[in-house]
Amino acid sequence: MKLVAGNSNLALANAIAGYLDVPLCKADVRRFADKEIFVEIQENVRGEDVFVLQSTSFPANDNLMEMLILVDALRRSSAKRITTVIPYFGYARQDRRTAGRTPISAKLVANLITEAGSDRVLTIDLHAGQIQGFFDIPTDNLFAEPVISKDIMDHYTSNGPLAVVSPDVGGVVRARAIAKRVDAPLAIVDKRRDRPGESEVMNVIGEVDGMSCLLVDDIVDSGGTLCNAADALLSMGAKEVSAYITHGVLSGGAVTRIAGSNLKELVTTDTIETTEAVKNAHNIRIVTVAGLLGEAIMRTALEKSVSSLFA
């Protein structure tokens, strides 16, 4: 087995390498003066089972191109099998045509990854599960549920009655799975989005009075939805509101918005590299998925079941 990391999230790549006790493959990934990407694999990978570790987070296009060029370099170096490990699949929100003359960018990126030479894909919490079908190669969509559920059990089960809350109707399946794991009731925030990046909370479906509420979602970007949902839950009598998110995009002024909100705590995983602003925020905490990804990589290499991780 060989692990090759791009520059998008070296901290997570090193943590995965530590879990597997396999050093990262020596590779030179740098830029020419005009920012064109250059890659050179500095170890022999002929006949090897290679895993490329790269999130397509900000800057999304640079990190995507870096990943594609890494895969191409490995294919041309005669790697036996190339598995692209994408902790955060950045174009997953563009999974359908929402208006006339718009692209389906998730399908385009799936085609690019396949054509570059990937033999399989490993990712976490796709924004839309059907994106697995956009790939013509085996694709494993892991779930952050075990990591999030364990953290909830460690930090919140002693705080009195809990309610797991989906911030919108589309996230109900994810929230229900975590509610079942932690044996808590489920509630739903019904919201109306007037334009991209903005949301207006309309109603709360379910009982939250006197409960510690845990909002569960896959992506936090601007943070507006979470902050509005927290206000709505508190107005309905919730004792306190925290949030568990898989991918902390946190663009623009999201960190400042969350720091000044009524959220007691935002817990996110390290699928996206943690910025200094996030590290310094008083109410944002990071949990790692290195063990989850490391175990899935090991099982893939040994041709063992990956789905049994979530049984």
Coil vs helix vs strand at 103: coil
Tell me what pLDDT residue 188 has: 95
Match 């044996």 to its residue by tokens.
Answer: 183
Q: Considering all CA atoms of the chain, what is the largest pairwise distance in Å, rounded to the nearest integer?
A: 61
Instruction: Out of 35, 180, 191, 264, pick the active-site residue.
Output: 191
Surface-to-core class of residue 142, CB atoms within 10 Å of its CB (0-12 exposed, 13-18 middle, 19+ buried): buried
Mean pLDDT by 10 residues, the chain (311 residues): 96 97 95 94 97 96 97 97 97 90 96 97 94 95 95 89 92 94 94 62 86 96 91 94 97 94 96 94 96 97 92 72
Tell me what pLDDT residue 225 has: 86
* Buried residues in 260-297 as b, exposed as e (16+ CB within 10 A): ebebbbbbbbbbbbbeeebeebebbeebbbbebbbbbb
Closest CA to 190 of 172, 173, 178, 174: 172
Q: What percent of the chain has pLDDT over 70?
A: 96
Match 């006790």 to its residue by tokens.
Answer: 21
Tell me what pLDDT residue 4 has: 97
Tell me what pLDDT residue 99 has: 87
Confirm whether 239 is a catalytic residue.
Answer: no
